[in-house]
Copies of this chain bind each other. A is one copy, B any other.
C-alpha cells in the first residue's frame, strides 16, 4: 500500500532537501496537510517565485531582485573597498555586524579541483574586470578557512597584488568568549603569530 499520490509527491519533494530522510519527510508532509490552507498556498507560491524573481547582480554576484543590487546602487557606501565572500549568505553576516560600509563581491563558490570547480566556474574574472574599471584600493578576502578557501585566497591575492591594490584577509585567532583550554593548536598558533601590541 502507498500513500495517496498528492501526499506521496510532497514527501518526495521534502526528501530532496539536505538532511531530510523518508521518516522526517513523511512527518513534515502530514504536518503540512494539517496547516492552514492559506499558509500552504503561500508556501507553494514562494517556492514557485523563488528562482523566477531572483537573479545574480551583474556587478557583485549577490542574489537580488533588481540588477544591480541594492548595495551596488548605494552611492553612500565606500566605493574604495571590496570585500570578497564565498556566498550571498556571508554578506548578511557582515551587514549584521554593521562595521563595514564598502562594497562586496560574491564568488559563488571557491576553487576546488577535486569537485571540478575551476577559475571559470566562480566569479573571479568579473572581480578583476571590476578592479580595472573602478577606484578600489583595498580588497578584503573573507573566505572560510577550509583548504579550498585558503587556496582561493592565495590565488586571488597573487592575481591582484601586481596591480598595486592592497589585499588583506580577516584576522585568524581565538573567537571572542572562547576558552584557550579548548582551542585547537592551529587556531592557537595563528593567534600567537598574529598577536597585537597593547
The residues of A with any CB-CB pair to B shorter than 8 Å are 1, 3-7, 9-10, 12-13, 16-18, 26-33, 35, 37, 39-54, 63-65, 87-89, 91-92, 95-96
Residues in B with CB closer than 8 Å to A6 are: 46, 49-50, 52-54, 65
Given contacts A7-B50, A7-B63, contact A42 B13 (CB under 8 A): yes
Q: Assess whether B64 is in contact with A4, with CB atoms less than 8 Å apart.
A: yes
Residues in B with CB closer than 8 Å to A18 are: 27-28, 31
Q: Which residue of B lies closest to A26 (CB)?
A: B89
Closest 10 CB pairs of A and B: A1-B95, A44-B48, A9-B46, A44-B47, A13-B43, A6-B53, A44-B44, A10-B46, A4-B65, A6-B54
Smallest beta-carbon distance A122→chain B, Å? 14
Residues in B with CB closer than 8 Å to A92 are: 1, 3
Residues in B with CB closer than 8 Å to A16 are: 35, 39, 43
Q: Which residue of B lies closest to A41 (CB)?
A: B48
Q: Assess whether A50 is in contact with B45, with CB atoms less than 8 Å apart.
A: no
Given contacts A1-B95, A31-B17, contact A47 B50 (CB under 8 A): no
Roughly how many angstroms separate A46 CA and B46 CA in the complex, as a whole number?
13
